Amino acid sequence: MCEFVERSKIPYMGYSLRVDTWRYTEWAAWNGTSLRPIWSSLVGVEMYKHDASNTSLSCNMHVNACFDHFENKNLANNPTYATEAAALSAKLHAVVASQY
């Protein structure tokens, strides 16, 4: 939440979804009138794989213990993960829509 900026004046808003093996974020233009994201106007997408095979670090055997070590390569536009990206995007939009 932006404490010092009027919500109607925010140009973009980021929304993230965290599931067992991914963190997925979309940065959308912000409609200051309706106070909702404009999903058709994305300015950025991030998708990071979070699983034990994704790093050589032991992380105390807990995947979330080394959260930052997983986010070194943005896979959002990698064609190999297009199916996962589409599913995560749909889930993110559904979660955000349920908040209104």
Q: Where are the domains of the chain?
A: 7-97
Tokens of 63: 């995947």
What is the average per-residue pLDDT within 58-81?
Answer: 72
- The pLDDT tens digits for 14-27 are 999 999 889 999 99
pLDDT value at 9 more than 70: yes
pLDDT value at 57 more than 70: no
pLDDT value at 37 more than 70: yes
DSSP E strand stretches across 4-82: 12-19, 22-31, 36-49
**At 45, is the pLDDT very low, low, confident or very high (cuts 50, 70, 90)?**
very high
Find the helix or strand (DSSP H, E) in which 65 lies: none
Q: Give the 3-state secondary structure of residue 63.
A: helix
CA-angle at 24, arms to 18 and 25, nearest 5°: 115
**pLDDT for the residue 1:** 55
Q: Where are the alpha helices (DSSP H) in the chain?
A: 82-97
